[in-house]
Structure 1
Amino acid sequence: MIEENPQLKKILDLAGNALETANRKRRQHQAETGYGELVGITTGNDVSQILPQELGRLSDSRQKLSFYRDFLEGQLFQNDLQAPEEKGKGPMVICLDCSGSMKERVSRDLWSKALIVALVKLANEQDRVVSVVRFESVCFEPIEIHPKEDIDQLIRLLVTSPTNGGTEFQAPLERAREIIEQDADYSEADIVFITDGIAPLSSVFLKEYSDSLEKMKTNFFLLEIEPEWGWSNALKDLASQAWVIDVEGNFDELGAVFTAC
């Protein structure tokens, strides 16, 4: 498929670059937040957390071999650290804009699909379930991707995804909410909304939807692909965090996206 479809190759190249940046940002984030809070003593073989008295056994020829044995068996005494709680690390419902305006610029279409592939790949690595809701003027049946499953089906659907229709935000937002409310696997899932930002939403709906996000303990992440000025103000009112992806692809911003999502 890649050999026969240059567009798919470009999508996967962009997704690979996005994941590379994401991994670098995640490592930086982990270094900045530290290992976590000390909650006690446990056993293991994490060299960075082994207690000093255990390391002292290495200087005693009578205890050196037993130290290595305990190391291999994970029986050395070490600090028990509890990692800081992170938001946005549960299931995901990704809403993907497939409207005509997304197709007008090839870069919008490429970036939106590359982000989908990268997010699904990251979620699979972390054993997180994902649903992808494609929409234009109508909302299509969600594509459910379970942890560790092959993403070939997703890539095929992205290559042949519908488009050229108008844009309707309320239907995909409601569909995403239904998935979270009705499927136990998506309890407290986060919504990732990818669009160029062209569609109105009423103030009444925005208030009601914002209240439901709070009730469901759901973050709303907005990814704007080359948006026109002022188009997505309504969605920004819902967003926990929002990012703009420009035509060149802002990889530093992408790193922040994957740290949050």
Structure 2
Amino acid sequence: MSGTPNGPGVPPGPAGPPGAAPERHTAAVVADRFDRITWRDTCEQSAALRALAAELGARHAGAADLMADVFLAAYQTRPRLRDRREMAPARLVNHRIVGSLVAAPHFADLHRETAGDPYAAAMAVLAQAAALRGMLERSRAAQEQADRAAAAERAAEAAGPTADAPADRVARQAAEAAGRALAAAAPGLDAAARNAAGRAARAARHEAALMRAWGLGPGDLERMPFDRRARLAERLGTGRFARWAELIGRFRQMAAGEHARAVESTAGELVGVTLGDDLSRVIPSELAHLGLPATRAVFAARYAAGELMLYDTRAERPAGRGAVIACVDTSHSMYAAGPGGVTREAWAKACALALLDQARRAGRDFVGILFSSADRTRIFRFPAGAPAGIDQVLDFAETFLGGGTSYQTPLTAARDLLADEFDAAARTRGDIVMITDDECDVTQEWLRDWREAERRLAFRVFGVSIGAPGAVAAGSVLDVLCDNVRSIEDLTDVHAAADLFRVI
């Protein structure tokens, strides 16, 4: 490894007073008492770290110090490596291994995900476990030489300053032999470190992306106990959740972008250009006049006269105030895979979770109703005033009922929920979103009751037909039941539902 003895880009730790013998340390990374407490507490919380420490410690005397160094290099905001002359001879191999890791090209990518986060730093240690095993084995000969140098140095110190010179000479020779052995191992250590840092960085980014896709930000994760966060990461990283993460993340991002229009008195759909003085709708070419001193007066005059060019919009119906209820079809046919391996179920659940986000941003209750046959429903409630627990969100996403399809059962449940809300809080104007891939009948008696409830409670019904164009044909049951209905063919196109999020 080229550069300073500490590795490229890694500042050395503080040196001792001029002329004083340097204090010898067993830790390669400079750390204060609080950093060491963080490492100790993290080990106490992580069975995997303790198991790795026991495994490595059984074969390598300095493994515990090495793991602490690797953790602190990932955890500290600005990790500092000691000058190698400050290291105890028996820990020079550790110093070289950590120096290789922090000098690796991908370490900066890894450090962005782990700095200040004990859990992420611990996961980085575990992600590099195989490389640490290999590097310790690769440097075994150098470690044996370093141990001999340490023993020779202790012998020279024990002999004292009045002793014969041979003791000092033996110590120097042992240290030189250790240095040569470590230099011989260095290329292999550097290559292993590059690969380890790259793998750990990819793993850290992947886990962070999974958490973000499921609506968990850094603040949520910092408050989560270590073991629970580890179990959650394992749950999200396996099975359907891992496959859905990218789709869910795209849905949530798209819905957040549409949220600005999902408010009371929304400006509506763009239909052209008009004149006026509404600065929120000024077209870019008009705003450009503000950037030139010579045209600012012209802009001010046109503003005063109400003659600025504005985007003209067609007003949309005001957004609802009652609960947002997503009725999600989980019949057998929803398990079918579409483009890119995306299932209809995945698309429907991702859309529903984005609706949950939309409801929470608007301060509205959200209810998810999973349905299939007439006797199969599951209702998940997410009140606006309570946090949406990740376990409940995952249970909602994971539940799949199977069976046939019945519209009446979920819609009756949704209607009754809105009726209870009206009776308890006089709240109207809820929104029901029916997401299905099937078409089924309803009875005339049920339809009459439905129309009466719709009139009394003033709720809206949106329909999303996934892969079943006939379900939205004029006169179809879905078309009759819904105020607004759309057909989704491309399951990878989250923007196909964008207008849904503008009006809810």
TM exceeds 0.5?
A: yes
Question: What residue is the counterpart of 2:403 in the other structure?
Answer: 165
3-state SS, counterpart of residue 95 of structure 1? strand
Counterpart selection for 2:327 from 85, 90, 95: 95
* Aligned residue type for 1:131: V
Q: CA deviation at 1:157?
A: 1.5
Q: CA deviation at 1:10?
A: 3.3
Question: What residue is the counterpart of 1:115 in the other structure?
Answer: 351
Q: CA deviation at 1:195?
A: 0.8
Question: What residue is the counterpart of 1:246 in the other structure?
Answer: 489
Counterpart selection for 2:415 from 173, 177, 191: 177
Counterpart selection for 2:241 from 1, 5, 8: 8
Q: For the residues of structure 2 that align with 1:29 and 1:237, how far apart are their CA atoms?
A: 25
The answer to whether the Cα contact below 8 Å between 1:197 and 1:228 also exists between their aligned partners in 2 is no
Question: What residue is the counterpart of 2:370 in the other structure?
Answer: 134
From the superposition, tell whether residues 186 and 118 of structure 1 become closer, same or farther in structure 2 (CA, over 3 Å).
farther
The answer to whether the Cα contact below 8 Å between 1:196 and 1:227 also exists between their aligned partners in 2 is yes
1:17-63, Cα deviation, whole Å (9 max, x unpaired): 12322333444678x829xxxxxxxxxxxx98xxxxxxxxxxxxxxx
Larger radius of gyration: 2
Q: For the residues of structure 1 that align with 2:382 and 2:358, how far apart are their CA atoms?
A: 12
Q: For the residues of structure 1 that align with 2:241 and 2:503, how far apart are their CA atoms?
A: 26
1:209-243, Cα deviation, whole Å (9 max, x unpaired): 12321221100111212225247710211211112
From the superposition, tell whether residues 197 and 226 of structure 1 become closer, same or farther in structure 2 (CA, over 3 Å).
same
Q: For the residues of structure 1 that align with 2:497 and 2:471, how far apart are their CA atoms?
A: 22
The answer to whether the Cα contact below 8 Å between 2:359 and 2:365 also exists between their aligned partners in 1 is yes
TM-score normalized by the length of structure 1: 0.71
Alignment map for 1:184-203 (pairs within 5 Å): 184=424, 187-188=427-428, 189-203=430-444
1:97-116, Cα deviation, whole Å (9 max, x unpaired): 11111113352011011111
Q: How many residues align?
A: 213
3-state SS, counterpart of residue 322 of structure 2? coil
3-state SS, counterpart of residue 229 of structure 1? helix
Question: What residue is the counterpart of 2:250 in the other structure?
Answer: 17
Q: CA deviation at 1:120?
A: 0.8
Question: What residue is the counterpart of 2:9 in the other structure?
Answer: none
The answer to whether the Cα contact below 8 Å between 2:335 and 2:344 also exists between their aligned partners in 1 is yes
Question: What residue is the counterpart of 2:16 in the other structure?
Answer: none
**Which blocks of at least 5 consecutive residues in structure 2 are unaligned?**
1-234, 269-278, 281-315
The answer to whether the Cα contact below 8 Å between 2:317 and 2:503 also exists between their aligned partners in 1 is no
3-state SS, counterpart of residue 200 of structure 1? coil
Q: CA deviation at 1:205?
A: 2.5
TM-score normalized by the length of structure 2: 0.38
Range moving further from structure 2, 150-159 or 176-185: 150-159
Q: For the residues of structure 1 that align with 2:331 and 2:410, how far apart are their CA atoms?
A: 12
Q: For the residues of structure 1 that align with 2:247 and 2:377, how far apart are their CA atoms?
A: 25
3-state SS, counterpart of residue 442 of structure 2? coil
Counterpart selection for 2:380 from 136, 143, 158: 143
- 1:259 lines up with 2:493 in the alignment: no
Identity percentage over the alignment? 21
Q: For the residues of structure 1 that align with 2:327 and 2:425, how far apart are their CA atoms?
A: 17
The answer to whether the Cα contact below 8 Å between 2:324 and 2:432 also exists between their aligned partners in 1 is yes
The answer to whether the Cα contact below 8 Å between 2:330 and 2:401 also exists between their aligned partners in 1 is yes
The answer to whether the Cα contact below 8 Å between 1:100 and 1:165 also exists between their aligned partners in 2 is yes
**Which blocks of at least 5 consecutive residues in structure 1 are unaligned?**
35-46, 49-83
3-state SS, counterpart of residue 167 of structure 1? coil
Higher strand share: 1
Q: CA deviation at 1:135?
A: 1.0
Q: CA deviation at 1:174?
A: 0.9
From the superposition, tell whether residues 13 and 259 of structure 1 become closer, same or farther in structure 2 (CA, over 3 Å).
same
Structural RMSD (CA) = 2.9
From the superposition, tell whether residues 139 and 215 of structure 1 become closer, same or farther in structure 2 (CA, over 3 Å).
farther
3-state SS, counterpart of residue 192 of structure 1? strand
Q: For the residues of structure 1 that align with 2:468 and 2:389, how far apart are their CA atoms?
A: 28
Counterpart selection for 1:225 from 452, 459, 466: 466
Range moving further from structure 2, 128-137 or 226-235: 226-235
